Structure 1
Amino acid sequence: MTENPVGAAPGLLADYLSSIRPLVTVICISYNHERFITASIQSVMDQTYSMVELLVIDNNSSDQSAARAEEMQQKYPNIQVIRNAENVGNCRAFNQGLKRAKGRYIIDLSADDLLHPDRIARQVTGFERLAGDYAVLFSNAAYIDENGRLIGYHYPIGQTGEATVQVPSGWVFKEILATYFVSTPTMMMRRDVLESLGGYDESLSYEDFDFWVRTARNYRYHYQDEVLTSKRIVRHSLSGQFRERHSTLLASTLKVCYKAFDQCQSPEEYRALAGRIRWFIRQCFYTEQFDLAFRFRELLEYMEKPDFRTTVILQLCKWQVPVNGLYRHYAQWKQNRQMSRGEVRMVV
């Protein structure tokens, strides 16, 4: 009979089992998150799962974000804090963390979001049951305002806490092209897959759409139907920058759409991408990036002729109709209305 490697003591057995559980690395990117970063870091340190590595990367904040992170480091010496001398952008900052990461799984955490206490334990358990061709496990998220008040969910939930809508899971490349459905801060990703991609594409202004396009073709995604993360809705967030007149986000999106086009393999996938591009053309109009709208049209015409609505939008782009101010007021009114009703739904 094989001897128990840690003897009969229950405490030693627990320590042994803990030691063989996979390490999870949380990469927390901060830029002017002074109000929220302490709570965000604390949510990582309060995890019921013990095998967690936390890397905090401050992107040259102009407030006291880095100081707050270093205060938490004094309390928890295992936290690693990196101060950048300049704002290198989210993608490059994340890759800084990825190069240092030792975990089997990676969580990309914004310094204003919160992990629920059993998030990592629940996701590791779920991931360890999946086949080797799964790259991402994601879940539902609660939306909270700047004061921490619950204002909605990414997917609406019923009395049992489960989503009341069908969420794509498995081979999701077509769905990734068609619509925004993965709540980015809920993702747990395999480090080896990230490394095989060379990390996030540092030429882009944001990371998630590109990461989904580059992984969903060859790997499966698993949806875990639990609310395990609180995503904070704040003014001037990255998603809100899609409404701004001079934002670089849509130009990055065009690059990703070309990558997606190169990977499409079926008429259904081309149709899904075409539908998304029509939506991006409207966003170009709303943000007065008129020249960019015609660059999206060039890609669209490889797949289909622009429909009537898109043609009208492109004509308005030719006339350079100034609509951004009105659009931003409308978008803010709509978001405030949704928040007051608890119906917040992010669409990017």
Structure 2
Amino acid sequence: MQNSPLVSIICLCYNHEKFVVEALNSVVNQSYQNIELIIANDCSSDASKKVIKNWLENHTEIRFISNKSNLGNTKTFNKALQFAKGEYVIDLAADDILLGDCVEKQVNAFLNPKQKNTAIVYGNAEIISEDNLHLRYYYKVDNEKKAVTKPASGDIYLAMLNQSSMICSVSSMIKRDVLEQLYGYDENLAYEDLDLWIRTSRNYNFEFIDAVLVQKRELANSLGNQFYRKFNSQTKKINYSSYLVIKKAIALNKTKNENKALLKRLHFEMAKAYKTFDIWLFLKYIPLEIKLRFF
């Protein structure tokens, strides 16, 4: 590429000693070369820190942040973001892998946008097991590995509210200035992606790249496996975060149609609270439903 803007890749590691080297190698082996890698270890209890330090012996120019206590993903990412100088940012979990032309395709999408005011570009992901075995694709593909049903592009705010489309967060790249305008991730939340999509899509466009860009590893303790556990403290934190995201979205909404769209997501979250016997959370949704219906 003639124009090669700097891309900052923030690799977050927490107990990923088995996978972190593969993740880091996938960054340095990109076809696109103008990359700044920032590694952040969130006080892992396994040998992640030692594995990363050994890898850094051959990559001495790379910044390494090591938390003295466990801060969680949102706080650790924001801490690392302060050092990022790239025009674009990727949040890479240390158990995931960027395919060789991932960054090149993402940057090209930004340099040749299909619409103005694009803040996030994203693509497809291959879901793999702990042992690198293929499980499925995030978006179902045809024989040419093209998405059978294209996810949302352009103004996707309503789609984010009513769950009519999903964003593959692990395959996304965001403009750093937009991320900074939004003050990074909300550190009050147990997870960051839904909140970021809603806040970003309120004022900016998204663009889908119809290609498999990353490999996302599915582990037993992955976030997606935590939503429906009964009487589980982590499940309660995650589902309460969803409540906070919906509460914030109500403040962003401007029309009755947007409130109607958000009601669909609210009912989905109420059902999760009911199925996990989180009655306190279920009851907290009732005033929000009244507000969306009548105000």
Indicate the TM-score class for this superposition, using the shorter chain for normalisation: over 0.9
Instruction: Summarize the alignment of residues 1-348 of structure 1 with structure 2, pairs less than 5 Å apart.
Output: 17=2, 20-130=3-113, 132-179=116-163, 181-244=166-229, 245-247=232-234, 248-304=237-293
Measured in 2, the distance between the counterparts of 1:132 and 1:191 equals 16
State the 1:157 CA deviation. 0.5
Contact 1:246 1:287 in 2 (8 A): no
Measured in 1, the distance between the counterparts of 2:257 and 2:54 equals 52
Contact 2:259 2:293 in 1 (8 A): no
Give ranges in structure 2 of 5+ residues lacking alignment.
Answer: none
* SS of structure 1 residue aligned to 2:280: helix
Which letter does structure 1 place at the counterpart of 2:78?
A: N
- Over alpha carbons, which structure has the higher Rg? 1
Of all paired residues, the percent bearing the same amino acid is 34
Q: Which runs of 4+ in 1 moved over 3 A?
A: none
After TM superposition, the structure 1 stretch with the greater mean CA deviation from structure 2, 127-136 or 31-40, is 127-136
TM-score for the superposition, normalised by structure 2: 0.94
> Deviations for 1:212-241, whole angstroms, at most 9, x for unmatched residues?
111101000000110011111001112222
Give ranges in structure 1 of 5+ residues lacking alignment.
Answer: 1-13, 306-348
Measured in 1, the distance between the counterparts of 2:222 and 2:146 equals 27
TM-score for the superposition, normalised by structure 1: 0.80
* SS of structure 1 residue aligned to 2:292: coil
Residues matched between the structures, number: 288
Contact 2:74 2:189 in 1 (8 A): yes
CA RMSD of aligned residues (A): 1.5
Measured in 1, the distance between the counterparts of 2:38 and 2:51 equals 14
> Deviations for 1:162-187, whole angstroms, at most 9, x for unmatched residues?
10013110000000112260011111
Contact 1:185 1:229 in 2 (8 A): yes
Contact 2:156 2:206 in 1 (8 A): yes
State the 1:58 CA deviation. 0.5
Measured in 1, the distance between the counterparts of 2:105 and 2:61 equals 23
